[in-house]
Amino acid sequence: MLLASLQALQALAIDIMLPALGAISADFAVSNANDRQLIVGVFLISAGLGSLVPGSLADRFGRKAVIVFALCAYVVFSLVCALVPDFTLLLVARGMMGFFSAALMVLPMTVMRDRFEGDQMARTQSLVAMTFMIVPMIAPMLGQAIQLVAGWRWIFGVMAVLGTAVLIWTLLRLPETLHTDFRQEIRPLVVARNMTSALLLREAVGYIMGAALIQAALFGYINSAQQLVGEHFGAGTMFPAVFGGMALVMASTNFINSRIVERFGARRVSQTALIVYIVVAAIHLGISMEGSETLWVFVPLMTIGMCMMSFIGANFQAISLQPFARTAGAAASVVSFLRLLVGATLGALIGRAYDGTAVPIFAAMTVAGIVALGGVLYSERGRLFRRLNYPAAYYAPGDRPEDAG
């Protein structure tokens, strides 16, 4: 629950803003309607850049100290966002908030890798993700309620209060999980070596890039969701409920994954989900191009795609981090950096391509799925649906269990 809450704070900073984007752009007289997406896009890109920093620091100083610092920054910049006088300063504050909040996504992954391996880690990540997914369910409705009662600035005030609560919880309950023998030095060559190893190991890199591309398609949808669902499909004030309902089904998928992954293996489950994801996205693209799509066609098909993302995300993450025990922080930083930076950058471009239809998002989902499948085939040397028992040869140099003493 604590790890899920840490990750949820970053998700909260994204999803709680969605119903208020129109009001913020109106208050600051933003001329281009699509510029409102920058409130989300700048945060995500900054979080991607920030992901490179906390992992190596946590490999040296421990997980807890870095998490506590990130939570303090989260609270401070939430308050700054609540007080800014213009749109440009809001984007700057959102960027700083995103940069420091990266640790809240990176380090829970690292803590899980400290404690679990392989399919067991995938199961644990699914349980964390299931709890974490409560945020997309309630955040838009919470944001809309706050906006209606007190105005959009109080949304950031609520974020600061929630951040403070998780900070206190962390100080009281989070143990230090870094093995004393695994502490790494903060030297440029050591940090670069540890991070580069995640990109050079064939067994990991295809899954890292695949996860980033699938994340990009999801961010593209989130960036344009208010315009697409709320305006184009006419959901209006029902948009938060529609968005939250889809997230509820997505959370249920994470629970299902936690129940089946140890039986069938992370590879089999995620690779099957990726193929289904591609097929559904391609079908949805065809329907969108015909121009006859309605809200009640969009919601079920998009929900299926989001469910497949649940099977893909947790399992791809566990597979990509498996080889890295001694350098889990650095590896998690690289995974989060690529997933967030590539995902946020491409997601922003997908969102900016919004043309009043669902065609751009489903074209992006189809292409992302196909390229991700190519990355998986590269990592698996052309063989799908294998189940590995993680032999010694599978680990990166220095990361075999016996190397830990």
Domain-embedded: residue 193: no
Which residues constitute the domain of residue 221? Answer: 2-174+198-387
On whether residue 191 sits in a domain, the answer given is no
In a domain, residue 181? The reply is no
- CA 195 to each of CA 118, 124, 321: distance values in angstroms, whole numbers, following the listed order: 20, 24, 12
The reply to whether 31 falls in a domain is: yes
- Domain with 29 in it: what CATH number? 1.20.1250.20
Q: Is residue 397 domain-resident? A: no
Q: From CA 9, how far away is CA 157, in angstroms rounded?
A: 13
Per-residue pLDDT of the chain (405 residues), as tens digits, is 888 889 889 888 888 888 888 888 888 877 776 777 788 888 888 887 888 888 778 877 888 889 999 999 999 999 999 999 988 899 999 999 999 998 888 888 788 877 777 667 777 777 777 766 677 677 888 888 898 888 889 999 999 999 999 999 999 998 887 776 666 666 666 666 766 776 778 888 899 889 889 988 888 887 788 788 887 787 877 887 787 788 778 878 877 888 888 788 889 999 999 999 999 999 999 998 887 778 888 888 999 998 898 889 878 888 887 777 666 667 777 777 777 778 778 887 888 888 888 888 899 999 999 999 999 999 998 888 876 654 444 445 555 544 444
Comparing CA positions, the residue from 348, 366, 234 lying closest to residue 287 is 366
Into how many domains does the chain fold? 1
Q: Yes or no: say if 198 and 334 are a contact pair by the CB < 8 Å rule.
A: yes
Is 281 contained in some domain?
yes
pTM for this predicted structure: 0.68
Q: How large is the C-alpha radius of gyration of the chain?
A: 20
325 within domain boundaries: yes
> Does residue 186 belong to any structural domain of this protein?
no
